[in-house]
Amino acid sequence: MAKVLILSGAGISAESGIKTFRDSDGLWEEHDVGVVCNYDSMQKHKTITVEFYDKRRAELEFKEPNYAHKVVANLKKRYKKDIAVITQNVDNLFEKAGLGYDEVIHLHGFLSELRCQNYDCSLIFDIGYKSQKEFNGGLCPKCHTKLRPNIVFFGEQAPMYEELNRHIQDCSLFVVIGTSGNVIGVNTMAQFATRSILNNYEPSSAINDAYFSKVLYKKATEAIDEIEQEIESFLNCE
């Protein structure tokens, strides 16, 4: 089990031009996220929901990983077994920075994938940057049921949380980058680890930074060198 857990959120991708949810110019300002990200979105607001994710997916083609993604990816490559990279993000910027699909755990799904809505089938398809319609008319090639974005909506089960829980119980250094803590309660998690680092652009009302050993309120690209040094000296002292 990894000694270091790096948990990221929308903030790590902000400097790559992907909007966060809750910042002042975030997606929450432009869209009713409660509509497009809810459990019953695909039933009650299907067109708006599919369009929302089609647009995000198309935009993703032109987004590039920033310095923070690249440093995290290099660390993971160097300390494969000792570092777990877990993200709430549905973008593919860690993958674009060089990590394999098995080297990043996506807690909330993956934008470039669709999933069959038939529970017994549940097949997942990588569609790259296409719209949902462009992929087999939006139908599952195997059982012909309608497809949906492979995104964990609010109120849905998130199977990868089991992985997160396993890692949090075993890690000694917990690093949080770019999350407001509204979806995942990082305060409690920080108390499991011997040492913890919090990096956000600004304080969040959902995070009590007194639980963290080190707090860096600055952009991820500006904080990442210090985070890298902390991780390396921690691992080299173990």
Q: Supply the residues annotated as catalytic.
A: 108
Minimum CB separation of residue 36 from ligand NAD in Å reads 11
Give the whole-angstrom CA distance, residue 188 versus residue 178: 17
Told to check if 82 binds ligand NAD by CB under 6 A, we report no
Told to check if 230 binds ligand NAD by CB under 6 A, we report no
> What are the residues facing 217 on neighbouring strands?
200
DSSP one-letter code for 167: H
Q: Copy the structure tokens of residue 67.
A: 């310095």
User: Which residues have C-beta within 8 Å of that of residue 99, sequence separation ≥ 6?
Assistant: 73, 76, 77, 85
Q: Copy the structure tokens of residue 229.
A: 């040094």
Give the whole-angstrom CA distance, residue 100 versus residue 63: 18
Interface with ligand NAD (CB under 6 A), residue from 159, 162, 202, 210: 202
124-126 and 109-116 beta bridge pairing: antiparallel
Smallest CA-to-CA distance from 194 within 171, 176, 228 is with 171
Interface with ligand NAD (CB under 6 A), residue from 2, 5, 20, 41: 20
For ligand NAD, the closer CB: 60 or 140? 60
Minimum CB separation of residue 206 from ligand NAD in Å reads 8
Give the whole-angstrom CA distance, residue 143 versus residue 121: 7
4-8 and 83-87 beta bridge pairing: parallel
Here's the x/- map for ligand NAD, 160-199, by CB under 6 A: it reads as ------------------xxx-xx---------------x
Told to check if 65 binds ligand NAD by CB under 6 A, we report no
Interface with ligand NAD (CB under 6 A), residue from 2, 5, 22, 104: 22
Told to check if 53 binds ligand NAD by CB under 6 A, we report no
Listed ranges 6-14, 69-77, 95-103, 230-238: which one lies at the site for ligand NAD (CB under 6 A)? 6-14
Smallest CA-to-CA distance from 140 within 153, 127, 129 is with 127
| Helix 220-237 and helix 67-78, axial crossing angle in degrees, nearest 10 | 10
For ligand NAD, the closer CB: 132 or 180? 180
Applying the rule CB under 6 A, the residues between 106 and 165 that interact with ligand NAD are: 108
Told to check if 18 binds ligand NAD by CB under 6 A, we report yes
Told to check if 49 binds ligand NAD by CB under 6 A, we report no
| Positions that interact with ligand NAD (CB under 6 A) | 9-11, 13-15, 18, 20-23, 26-27, 88-91, 108, 178-180, 182-183, 199-202, 204, 219-220
